[in-house]
Amino acid sequence: MRPEEYNAWYATPRGAWIGSNEYRLLVRLLEPRPGDTLLDVGCGTGYFTRSFAADRSCTRVSGADIDLGALRYGSQRSARAETYVCADARTLPFADRSVDLVISVTALCFIKEERAALAEMLRVARRRVALGLLNRHSLLYLEKGRGDGKDACRGAHWHTPKEAPALFTGLPVGKPRLATAVFLPHASSLARLVEPCLQDLGAEWGSFIAVTADTRNNSHG
């Protein structure tokens, strides 16, 4: 999928609703503090990078991706509140503990060496890491995930709510926290009505899994 097609999806009613729900869940679990810095690994065209920069919850926001075309597209739409760098998630060009918060939204779904990439994110993170993953136990999987997948989900690995926190096993973190969002992915009136209720109940069959963990130095667990 071309960068302009991928980015345009977020401007559709369905894409805007899904993107905003995913973003709000990440913010809720990350709990950014005034003055925090944030790195978005596998940022693609920069939807979440720009979202964090726009609400000014962090003072410095950077996006990293290996796809030069996506980065170029994202930087052209930047409000100059964020920066972009071409980088492989498995070898990030950042110093140890140089960023307060690190996020990665669905990028690990397309990286075979997902543990190596996650270890790099934890090396760079000073306080907390948040992963956004595709949920195999969801209605969206039935629509987009079966076989080799469809559209932007083609070739993606879909994690289960059990697999997601297990990604952190053996790594220097506290106990991971997990929540899901986008339970009815067609963004109908019913979907909008039940979404906050299902999130409050802690249901785990939302299309989007968000799992966070504190770095060991910041962990109380």
pLDDT digits (tens, 9 = 90+) for 11-40: 999 999 999 999 999 999 999 999 999 999
Alpha helix segments (H runs only) across 31-151: 47-54, 68-76, 114-124, 139-140
Q: Does residue 36 sit in helix, strand or coil?
A: coil
Which pLDDT band, with edges at 50, 70 and 90, does 78 fall under?
Answer: confident
Q: Does residue 47 sit in helix, strand or coil?
A: helix
CATH number of the structural domain 3-214: 3.40.50.150
CA distance 30 to 50: 16
Phi, psi of 107 (to 5 degrees): -65, -40
Q: Does residue 32 sit in helix, strand or coil?
A: coil
CA distance 207 to 158: 10
CA distance 82 to 80: 5
Q: Full-prediction pTM beyond 0.75?
A: yes
